[in-house]
Structure 1
Amino acid sequence: MHPIETLLDSWPKLLDGTLMTLKLTLMGALIAGLLSPGFALIRSHASPLAQAPLRLYISFMRGTPILAQLFLIFYGSGQFRPVLQEWGLWNFFRDPFNCALLAFALNSTAYQTEILRGGIQGVAHGEIEAARAIGMNRLKILRRVVFPHAYRIAWPALGNEVILLMKASALASVVTVFDLMAQTRRVFSRSFDFSVYLWAALIYLCLTAAFVLVWRLAERRLGRHILARQQPRPGAPTPRETQA
């Protein structure tokens, strides 16, 4: 079968798989984005004893393959079915999509926490002291000074993390979640046309390219004030004139 004919015949299934991939990626990244700021603050300011459980969790998530984490959640939860039923959680863990989403969210939270911790530690201490000097309380300092600057510093690395999460979402197919890769394998098993994998790779490439474009536009928007500071005011002397 011609590759174009394969694409036309398999397009509905590939589209369904693409939507599932986007759903897994965006929901996992969003959940991680909501949890990581609080964890990053703990990693930056809490005592070593208070950090110990969080550091253990981050080390485990970053030090083990995401496939192993997916298997532990999906297959391991079955070993605790009576307990989960008693707690009313079995309906959640019996769904492959929920298990995959939980694995990706937990994994991305660990990485985003460390990325954001680096951003928080990169905020100039003088800016925090200046905020305190004008009477800002701790919550307002976090909201108006620390986190805005930390996210500007960490933004490129956070984008890379979301891209890695999108590509890792292909592993969800091993627990019967019909994402893009699962639908591709399904089409191949019926047609034995290897070109379907090429189309799947191109779809992943297009998704990644579109995400990078949107992320860079957001990065430029976040850094507009920095560019504005770097531009000289009308009538101000240039660096060459100053040196002269």
Structure 2
Amino acid sequence: MDFDLIREAVPVLLKGLRVTAQLTLFSMLIGFSLGLLLAVMRVSTNRFVSGFAKYYSNVFRGTPLLVQIFLFYYGLGQFSFVKENAVLWWVVSDGARCAVMALALNTAAYTSEILRGGLMSVPHGLVEAAQACGMSRVLRSRRIEFPLAIHQALPAYGNEVVLLVKGTSLASTITVLEVTGYAKRLMSQTYAVLEVFAIAGALYLVTNLILVALVRALENRFMRHHRR
């Protein structure tokens, strides 16, 4: 292996890691918020509301993420109403913003299923007890249902965040220079496939190990309160 090349490649790929972190953070924030809303819709007694959330989940979970990214970046810009709308055009005119929206909508579908499972795992007796105490629907959700649901869903959601980090590598297909994007550029300049992509893989691995450790720390904190 060329260690001089590795020393030159690491700072470049670290610049890409910052972009990867930004893509992950914004996608996760938007995706979790939307996923929580969809999870609440899924458990709704209204057929139209629950049906919409169900079909949304099926569409985004049943189609490849790469196809969704291409549709956002190459497809939406062809519609005249998108070009004429300043906000929509601002989103689709930039590869990074298109990647964030595609990743967020995709992870929202998986997050909704994870949180739905958590909401359905809440013991019905606790809900009835809260109702008997006179708790409102909002207060009951904030103090009982959502905390317990997130506790149950946290391990599965940790896996989804890891998948989201790896999914950001597809942003390189629409000209976004994150870790994989910079790795492709370095490979075309140096032809050092092994060294460059070994470093890129190591950066993804370290990032995901840190995320897994954070999720486990949250799990342990929840379990400590539960034991008490």
Q: TM-score range by the shorter chain?
A: over 0.9
8 Å contact from structure 2 (residues 39, 53) kept in 1: no
Instruction: Using the TM superposition, give the Cα deviation of residue 73 of structure 1 relative to its aligned residue in structure 2, in angstroms.
Output: 0.7
Question: Aligned ranges for residues 21-60 of structure 1 at < 5 Å?
Answer: 21-60=20-59
Work out the CA distance in 1 between the residues paired with 2:29 and 2:190.
Answer: 36
CA distance in 2, matches of 1:145, 1:40: 16
Correspondence for 2:155: 156
Partner of 1:204: 204
In structure 1, what is the Cα distance between the partners aligned to 2:27 and 2:221?
24
1:213 aligns with 2:213: yes
What is the CA distance between 1:135 and its match in structure 2? Answer: 1.5
Q: Offset of 1:76 from its aligned partner?
A: 0.3
* 2:164 alignment counterpart: 165
Specify the code of the residue in structure 2 equivalent to 1:207. T
* Shift, 1:113, TM fit: 0.4
Counterpart position of 2:70: 71
> What is the CA–CA distance in structure 1 between the aligned matches of 2:106 and 2:169, rounded to whole Å?
15
What letter corresponds to residue 119 of structure 1 in structure 2? G
CA contact (8 A) 2:57 2:109 kept: yes
CA contact (8 A) 1:3 1:196 kept: no
TM-score under structure 1 length normalisation: 0.89
Q: Which residue of the other structure, out of 68, 81, 84, is the alignment partner of 1:83?
A: 81
Distance in 1, matches of 2:45 and 2:181, equals 43
Task: Please give the residue correspondences for 1:79-228 in structure 2 after superposition, counting only pairs within 5 Å.
Answer: 79-80=78-79, 82-88=80-86, 89-194=88-193, 195-228=195-228
Unaligned runs of 5+ in 2: none
What whole-Å deviation, never above 9, does each CA across 1:111-144 have from its counterpart, x for those lacking one?
Answer: 0001000000000001111111111111000000
Partner secondary structure for residue 223 of structure 1:
helix
1:60-116 Cα shifts (integer Å, max 9, x gaps): 100000000001111001211x21132222122110011000000000000000100
Counterparts of 1:9 and 1:49 in 2: how far apart (Å)? 56
Counterpart of 2:5 in structure 1 is 6
Highest Rg: 1 or 2?
1
Structure 1, gaps ≥5 residues long: 229-244
Q: Take 1:46 and 1:166, find their aligned partners in 2: how far apart are those partners? A: 34
Identical amino acids, percent of aligned pairs: 38
Give how far 1:33 is off: 1.2
The 8 Å contact of residues 42 and 51 in structure 2, kept in 1 or not, is answered as no
* 1:94 maps to amino acid: S
- Measure the CA separation in 1 of the matches of 2:152 and 2:53: 23
Distance 2:177 2:103 in 1: 15
- Partner AA of 1:20 in structure 2: V
Distance in 2, matches of 1:4 and 1:27, equals 35
Alignment CA distance shift 1:177-1:29 (3 Å): same
Secondary structure of 2:43 counterpart: helix
Tell me if the contact between 2:183 and 2:197 (Cα under 8 Å) persists in the aligned partners.
Answer: yes
**Structure 1 residue identity aligned to 2:220:** R
**Whole-angstrom CA distance in 2 between matches of 1:138 and 1:3:** 62
